[in-house]
Amino acid sequence: MNREQEIPTRQATLQQMVEDLLKEAREQGASSAEAAVSFDSGLAINVRKGDVETIEHTRDQGLGVTVYFGQRKGSASTSDFKPEAIRETVRAACNIARYTNEDPCSGLADADLMASDLPDLDLYHPWNITPEEAIELGIRCERAALELDPRISNTEGAGINTHSGLHVYGNSHGFIGGYPSSRHSLSCSVIGRQGESMQRDYWYTVARRPEQLEPEAAVGRKAAERTLARLGARKIGTCQVPVIFRADVAGSLLRSLISAISGSSLYRKASFLLDRLGQPVFPSYIQIQETPRMPGGLGSASFDSEGVATRDKQIIRDGVLQTYLLGSYSARKLGLQSTGNAGGVHNVSITPGDQDLDGLLRQMGRGLLVTEMMGQGVNMVTGDYSRGASGFWVEQGEIQYPVEEITIAGNMKQMFSQLLAVGKDLDLRSSIRTGSLLIEQMTVAGE
């Protein structure tokens, strides 16, 4: 059976398995149930200094079922697809549900929110690469980095990963849906030395389609160039200056926004954006949107993890917070309706401006360009922000020298409101897309 025939056949098998899970739940007395089944396969190879370090083939499968007895809930999972294992898994979930307390907010998502239109979002493009071909690809990638400059003295290696998966979900409302997907990546990490200074950096590329990956030599060279740029890093004194978060690290700011407006943070009152719906959070020029059904998108999906239809939405319009991001449970806790975000967000992007990174540097004049951050110093309740960082010091709109061993600090509410510009240098390697972000002022703690 070829691959084109294999996927529909396997999807039909998994859908039948979900139907069997739901039927078994009914027969064991559950008033409603939901189930998900997945099958994944992949290849991961790492090479270092021209030698193979690891070759890993993966084939994983799993199923999970959640049953409801009224508003009492129980869940169980297994990786065994035999019929008797399915029955035992449902039985385990039912036994749990019988002894849990009732929760007025538990239950399936509302039936009228189920996805009815399940278009092909162009998410499945398997990479028929052999281990031998992947090894050679990694060696060429690493070689391009090592040959760029004699100061590239060592390597942490190159990695090639290819993954294909199939996911099917269904529930007692009669909804059942599934789709195959693929994801491929190539990465390289190297070490540079100049005198007593040693630095490391990396680069990677990610895509649904293998042909959309950056060329292996380009990935290796980019890793080496980033490493060389960091050699000779200095410490700086404590100051308050504008800060640019380069595009490849700027996504962390949008992730903090997403976390702050997600249902679990809100109903627990653990968000610095509590009760800010309909109020300005950013300057009026900022637009942030979610486009879940973007063809080929790294975060695309036509339904969320509860079967609720996804839809395009404005998260921030003209700087104003337009919506929270909710699954059915958090929506009920807040007296609202699910936004189709059970399980997370799908393709969030901030509308870029008309300047590239060089333009943002000129606009900033004097300040800090952040290219790497360490630690998790974000207080989601207060918005206080403090993280270790490294990057480059900027004077008169131009990079002067690399800096290290600094901490950047501020408050997320002020950082959002003081967002002066969004670069057009979009980083497309994630389901959260942003260009570089220029913040008006932050505290940089150094010597």
Q: Which residues lie closer than 8 Å to 16 by C-beta, 6 or more apart?
A: none
3-229: CATH superfamily: PmbA/TldD superfamily (3.30.2290.10)
Closest CA to 151 of 226, 247, 240, 263: 226
In this prediction, residue 334 carries a pLDDT of 96
Helix 216-230 and helix 131-146: axis angle, to 10°? 40
In whole angstroms, what is the distance from residue 15 CA to residue 36 CA? 9
**SS3 category, 3:** helix
pLDDT computed for residue 3 by the predictor = 55
- Between CA 222 and CA 234, with CA 228 as vertex, the angle to 5 degrees is 135
CA distance 219 to 275: 44
Ranges of the chain with pLDDT below 70: 1-5
- Give the CB-side neighbour count of residue 332, counting CA atoms within 13 A: 12
In which residue ranges of the chain is CATH 3.30.2290.10 found?
3-229
The CB-side HSE value for 176 (13 A sphere, CA atoms) comes to 17
Mean pLDDT in the chain? 95
pTM of structure: 0.94
Among 321, 320, 301, which residue's Cα sits nearest to residue 311? Answer: 301
**pLDDT value of residue 1:** 44
